[in-house]
Structure formats: structure tokens, C-alpha cells
Amino acid sequence: MNAPTKRRRLRLVMAAAVTAALVGGAAAVPAAATSTSATPQADPASSATSPSAASYGSADPTDSTDHGLTEDELRRTVARTLKDAGFIGVTVEVRDGDRRIHARAGEAELHTGRPMPYGAHYRAASVTKSFVATVALQLVAEGRLSLSDPVDKWLPGVVSGNGNDGRRITVRNLLQHTSGIYNYAYSDDTGDSAADFDRTRFDHVSAEQVVAGAMKHRPDFPPAPADDPKPDWNYSNPGFVLAGMIIQKVTGHPWPEEVRDRIIRPLGLTGTSEPGDDPRLKAPYAHTYQRFPGSSTWLDTTLRNVSWGGAAGSLISTDRDLDRFFTALLSGRLLPPAQLAEMRRTVPVAEDFEVAFPHAQYGLGLMRQPLSCGGYRWGHGGDLEGATVRTGFTEGGRRSVTISSTGKTADDEQVLRAEAALQGLTDRVLCDGVRSRKP
């Protein structure tokens, strides 16, 4: 096995963008505000056929009308967690049925005191994977694609060399991270220092370049069969880049167009887009900052080309849009019951991945973790230099949390402390819910 080094593996774990978590930011005196609004809830989907794909619509934590979090409690909890996490700024939105509150802490731009904006646009990073997996499963439902299709059927000869074999890797393997394809990153070739980032931040990187980079390495393990309950597992961004290429082969359209026409427009996700080579974010937005290896200062990473992320992580979105997307997805509005069940049929993740995300399991572009109050939370997250996104949704769909934070460091211990803080806060919010306002 051509396994990454320990430090690289931890870095990749934290770049993986997993499920449910909450907040970050401690550079400034926390400022927070709240609001409530009603959102119609979609009908739950039919029960899944697999024990590992428990139906969305099953029991949620107990009702929180009289004992859930108040706005002030959320603000204090967020401020305390942000200090522990060491982020610069964060926004958090929590929904409990038709009750909705949000809080913010830190600052949107260093040394300005400007508060984090609500409704901000941010790079969703690996949350993109859930959108791409949804489109792939829609094509499966339409009979145009099969999860058992080998990659070579659609992309002959693309996955080859150094032991890589597209004849053995299936679409399911790509969406499940069980392909064994090496998790190549553009920075593997360009370097991971602050100077390297500045030098390459506007580079265009094609899907073909990403896949070619992965093919320079031997696979981490052989691809898993579909019925393996405990397969070898390793997060692979190139695997999802390949899934995007397959979507284009099947439909004749680039994957961003399919995501737009099948998900973004039908759901009215007005803040969600694929930027191509445009390095900018639409206002309002918060600046993002990274402290790179060997540096004690923050580098502003806001302006950047994320074409290298492609189908693995290039979408831009907002808290409200991600809530709307996952609610529609998990309630069965985007996929038929059979395909939603496949998406929710999970396998254990690698042990090193569990260091940051305890007891996590992965389906097809979707992740699951247990809640301390019983049941599970579902969703996906994302990480880029300087930014973190986390989402979480209870099984019955009544409660959700979306979070965007800024300020990341290359220090492994600090990274793990920050993630532990996010995990704890997410669990509390989803278990406690939101207290209703008294008349």
C-alpha cells in the first residue's frame, strides 16, 4: 500500500469535509444576533431497505419546546466554543421544526471589528460531494448509469498505471471512498507553504490534471466489492472528480450544469453556484485565513481559484441553501426511495479518520455519526485553507445546523482541538433543539 505519511493523513482527514459540526472564531469579542422564520418541511422518504440506511423520518430527539436552547444560550455556547477552537469568525444557523435561530462570533475581516455577516456566501468545499452524488444517483434512477458500472465503461484508459485499474473500480467505489485511488492534492506538486499558496492561488487545474496526479501513485488498496460490510476506506477527492467526469459522459453536459438544472434551480438555491475560474465570492462574505506550516501569521486566502476541487469541492453556497438542499435530499424530494437507501447505506471509515470524527460512517456522498441523545446525524462538511463548513441533520429531519468558520492552522493538535469543539457543540445543538419563544 502506498499510504500517505501520518502528517499528510491527518491533514487529509481534516480536509475531508465530513458531517455535522458547529462553529469557530475567537479573534474578536463575540458578537451575535438571532432571528426566527418558518420553513415548510418536506414529507419523509420511505423506509430504507438496509439496516445501515435507517429511514429519514424515524425518531428525532424529544421535543424541545420548553427546554431547548434559547438565543442567549446559543450565543454563549458559540462564543465559548469559538475560543476553544481558535477560529477567527463563524456564523451558525440552527433549525428546529419551524423555529430558527442564528448566532455569530468573531470578525469578518481581521483588525476591522466588522462582525461576521449573516447569509454569507462561502466555499462549500467537500459539501459539493453530496450534490454530485445526488446527481449520479438520479442518473441511476433513470437507468442511464449503474452503481456497478466500472469506471472504464465511461472513461476507458483514464484510470490506469501504477496498479490503478478502471476496469475493477465501480461508480459505487468512487462515491463511497472505497476505490483505493490515492488522494492526490494539487499542493502535492506545488508545495504547502504560504509562499506556495500565494504563487498558485489563481492557477487553473483541470479534472484531467487531478486524475493524472493521482495515477502517479499506487492505489492505497484494491477496490472493495459492493457487499463488503467493512471495506478498506480512504477519502479520495480524485474519486469524486472522476464521478463528475462520468456524469458529463452520461449526460453530455458538465457536472455543474447537471447540478444547476437538477438541484439548484428546482430548490431555489439562489446563493449556490459553481464559480469556474472566478476567484471571487459574492457579497456578503467573510475573509478566510490560514496559518501555514512554519508561519506565525495569518494569510488571507479569500481570493483563489478552486478549479482543482471540481466535483470534489468547488461549489459556493450559504447556510440557508445547504439547509434547504439536505432537507430536500434526506426527505426524499431529490431521490426515489431505492436510491436514497443506497446513499444512506454506510460503511465504517478508516481508523485515522475516526480520530477527528468518532464513530463516523460513510454512505454515497453522505456521512453519518451517532448523537449522544440517541439516533444519528447526517450530512457532509468541507475544509479549505482558511475555511471550514459543517452541516448536520437529525434522522427525522426536524433539526438541522449549518456552520461556516474562518481561520485554520497547520498545527495538528490545534486542528484536533478545534474539531472536538465543533463536534461537541453540534451534538448539543441537535440534541437540545431550540426553545420556543413565550408569548
Which domains can be identified in the chain, with CATH numbers?
6-128+137-143+256-261+271-432 (3.40.710.10)
Q: Give burial (CB, 10 Å; 0-12/13-18/19+) of 221.
A: middle
- Write the pLDDT tens digit of every residue in 290-349: 999 999 999 999 999 999 999 999 999 999 999 999 999 999 999 999 999 999 999 999
pLDDT of residue 210: 99
List pLDDT tens digits, range 202-256.
999 999 999 999 999 999 999 999 999 999 999 999 999 999 999 999 999 999 9
Positive or negative: CA dihedral 335, 336, 339, 340: positive
Q: Which residue has the higher pLDDT, 15 or 152?
A: 152
Mean pLDDT of the chain: 87
Task: Tell me: pLDDT of 117 over 90.
Answer: yes
- pLDDT exceeds cutoff 60 at 21: no
Q: Tell me the C-alpha distance between 192 and 265, whole Å.
A: 37
Distance CA 311, CA 126 (A): 9
What is residue 393's predicted lDDT score, i.e. its pLDDT?
Answer: 97
pLDDT single digits (tens) 364-419: 999 999 999 999 999 999 999 999 999 999 987 899 999 999 999 999 998 999 99
Q: What per-residue confidence (pLDDT) applies to 56?
A: 47
Across the range 181-190, mean pLDDT stands at 98
Q: Compute CA distances 402 → 41, 91, 119, 140, whole Å.
A: 17, 8, 11, 29
Report the pLDDT averaged over residues 84-92.
Answer: 92
- Between 48 and 257, residue with greater pLDDT: 257
In Å, how far are 127, 139, 258, 317 from 271, measured between CA atoms?
Answer: 14, 25, 17, 5
Looking at residue 345, its pLDDT comes to: 98
Lowest mean pLDDT among 11-20, 137-146, 290-299, 320-329: 11-20
Interatomic CA distance for residues 91 and 106, integer angstroms: 9
Q: Is the pLDDT of residue 36 over 90?
A: no
Binned at pLDDT 50, 70 and 90, residue 58 comes out as low
CA dihedral in degrees (16, 17, 21, 27; nearest 10)? 90
pLDDT tens string 24-34: 222 222 233 33
pLDDT score recorded for residue 100: 93
Residue 2 pLDDT more than 90?
no
pLDDT above 50 (res 3): no
Averaged over 14-22, what is the pLDDT? Answer: 35
What's the pLDDT score for residue 114?
Answer: 98
